[in-house]
Copies of this chain bind each other. A is one copy, B any other.
């Protein structure tokens, strides 16, 4: 999937709005933000940074290569280019975070919006979650059709795989329903926690 430019750019702005970063670290954080651990190449990241720079939404912070006075181990490094968000960039990011377009229902776009939900207004949060839910409900319908229609035609293994995919999609809808409920009742800072340490899992 070609990763829409706007999604990537706003994800970069979002990550940089926490603190200035250099490319290497930025890339790692983006991998977390854009869907579960979908790393992107530098061949995509650097052009994106250049685009944002051209629009004055980010700027380079020249890191002093000089070793001031003391000679601690943290000097003389290779030039690390640190990028920082500008005032214009912050404005642009805030606008995007609160104006969900169709990109917000897609996988990457939704993950990116969710990653910055704490900077999104409550009513907008609900719009995004509900939009995402109906997007997924469409997918569930498509899969259900396919499983029902293909029941006779495909072999047992393929059917099992399709059923597994369908179950997963339904599970995702249920997860979104939970999020929506939490959103409607109160701010969700204290969800049930859902046992970080999961059960066993026999060898």
Contacts and interface: CB of A to CB of B under 8 A. Distances in A.
Contacts of A167: 194, 198
A33 B155 CA distance: 12
A106 B63 CA distance: 41
Interface string A74-91: 000000000000000000
Contact of A170 (B143, B158, B174, B201): B201
Interface of A is mostly: helix
A194 B163 contact: yes
Given A175-B164, A196-B151, A157 B117 contact: yes
A104 interface: no
Contacts of A147: 196
A51 to B, nearest CB: 24
- Give 5 closest A-B pairs by Cβ, nearest first: A36-B165, A117-B157, A118-B155, A156-B189, A114-B157
Given A36-B162, A117-B157, 6 more contacts: A118-B156, A156-B188, A160-B191, A163-B196, A164-B175, A166-B198
